[in-house]
Amino acid sequence: MAIDPLSNARSERRWAFAMVGAAMMMLFAIVWASLSPHMNPPSNIENVDPNTLHIAGEFTEDNLGTQVDAKGRVTTRIVTSQFSFAPECVVVPQDMQVTFRFVSPDVIHGLLVVGTNINTMVVPGYVSQVHTMFDKPGDMLMPCHEFCGLGHSQMVAHVRVVPIADFKPDENGRVACAEH
C-alpha cells in the first residue's frame, strides 16, 4: 500500500481552510469590537517636550494627580520616570468617565492597571491618553510593565477608586490620596 499524495494534499488543504477560518473568526471579533462597542487600543498622537515637562505646561508638579475641570470632566495626570510614578497614588471616582494622561521625561515606560483594560506605553516626547470607567471601588495596582532600568521592579503606583459620594474635589477641583 503506497502513500497517496493526493489524499495528503486534500488533508492539508482542509487543515489550511480550518486555520484560515480560525484566524478570520478572531479577526472578525476584533473588527466587530472596534466598530460596535468601540473597543480600540488607546490611540493619541500628541507631542510634548520631555526636557521642559517639569518647568512649564500641563505636567508641572502642582498640576499632577486628579483634577475635575469646570465642565465636570475628571482628568488624572501622571509623570512616569525612573523609577517612580508622580504621584504614586491617584484617586478617581467610580462610574464616571476618567481620562488618564501620562508622560515620561526620561526613558520608555509602560503601565497597566490590574483588573482593567488600561494598558499603554509611555514614550518620551508623547502624551499617552486612556479613557476608562471603573465599575467598582478599591485600590488597584499600577505597575510599570516596560523594563526601564535597575529599579524597574520597584516602580509601582496605586489607583484608588472611590464611590462618587466620597469623591470630593477641593476648591481647585483637585482630589488626592493624602488627607489634607
Partner 1 sequence: MNNPADTDPDITDPTLAAHLDEAPSGAFALAGIAVALLLVAWAIIYLFVFLPRGPVG
Contacts with partner 1, residue ranges (CB under 8 A): 1-4, 7-8, 11-12, 15, 18-19, 22, 25-26, 29, 33, 37-43, 115-119, 130-133, 135
Shortest distance, position 23 Cβ to partner 1, whole Å: 10
Nearer to partner 1, 33 or 164 (CB): 33
Shortest distance, position 26 Cβ to partner 1, whole Å: 7
Chain centroid offset of residue 124 CA: 16
93, β-bridge pairs = 162
Nearer to partner 1, 131 or 168 (CB): 131
In this structure, what C-alpha cell is assigned to residue 150? Answer: 535597575
Nearest to 83 by CA among 23, 152, 146: 152
74, β-bridge pairs = 68, 98
Nearer to partner 1, 130 or 157 (CB): 130
Shortest distance, position 6 Cβ to partner 1, whole Å: 12
Shortest distance, position 172 Cβ to partner 1, whole Å: 27
DSSP strand E in 32-113: where?
A: 65-68, 74-81, 84-86, 89-93, 97-103, 109-112
